[in-house]
Amino acid sequence: MKKISLATVLSFDAGYVDTAGFLALQGLFTAHVTGNFVTFGAAVVLGTSGIIAKLLALPVFCTVILVTRLASFWLAGRKYPVLSTMMRVKLLLLIVAATLAVSYGPFPKGDGWPAILTGMVLVAAMAIQNAAHKIHLAKAPPTTMMTGNTTQIMIDLADVIRGQSLEAKNAAKKRMIKMLTSVCAFAIGCGAAATAFIWLGIWCLAIPPLLGLLALMAEVETPEGDAK
Could you read off the pLDDT of 177-219 as tens digits, one per residue? 888 999 999 999 999 999 999 999 999 999 999 999 988 887 5
Residue 3's pLDDT is what? Answer: 64
- pLDDT at 48 exceeding the cut of 80: no
More confident position, 193 or 134: 193
Preceding peptide of 209 cis, ω within 30°:
no
Q: What is the mean pLDDT of the chain?
A: 87
More confident position, 80 or 167: 80
Split at pLDDT 50, 70, 90, the class of 148 is confident
More confident position, 179 or 162: 179
> In this structure, what are the phi and psi dihedrals at residue 5, rounded to the nearest 5 degrees?
-80, 155
**Axis-axis angle for helices 113-136, 208-217 (nearest 10):** 20
Q: How many CA atoms lie within 13 A of 216 on its CB side?
A: 16
- pLDDT at 115 exceeding the cut of 80: yes
Mean pLDDT of 102-123: 94
What's the pTM?
Answer: 0.90
Which residues sit opposite 5 in a β-bridge?
219
- pLDDT at 63 exceeding the cut of 90: yes
Closest CA to 18 of 150, 148, 130, 99: 130
Split at pLDDT 50, 70, 90, the class of 2 is low
- The per-residue pLDDT for range 71-95, each reduced to its tens digit, is 999 999 999 999 999 999 999 999 9
Cβ-proximal residues to 187 (8 Å cutoff; 6+ apart), any chain? 15, 146
- On the 0-12 / 13-18 / 19+ scale of CB atoms within 10 A, 31 is buried
Instruction: Give the chain as a 3 state SS string.
Output: CCCCEHHHHHHHHHHHHHHHHHHHCCCCCCCCHHHHHHHHHHHHHHCCCCHHHHHHHHHHHHHHHHHHHHHHHHHHHCCCCHHHHHHHHHHHHHHHHHHHHHHHCCCCCCCCHHHHHHHHHHHHHHHHHHHHHHHHCCCCCCCCCHHHHHHHHHHHHHHHHHCCCHHHHHHHHHHHHHHHHHHHHHHHHHHHHHHHHHHHHHHHHHCHHHHHHHHHHCECCCCCCCCC
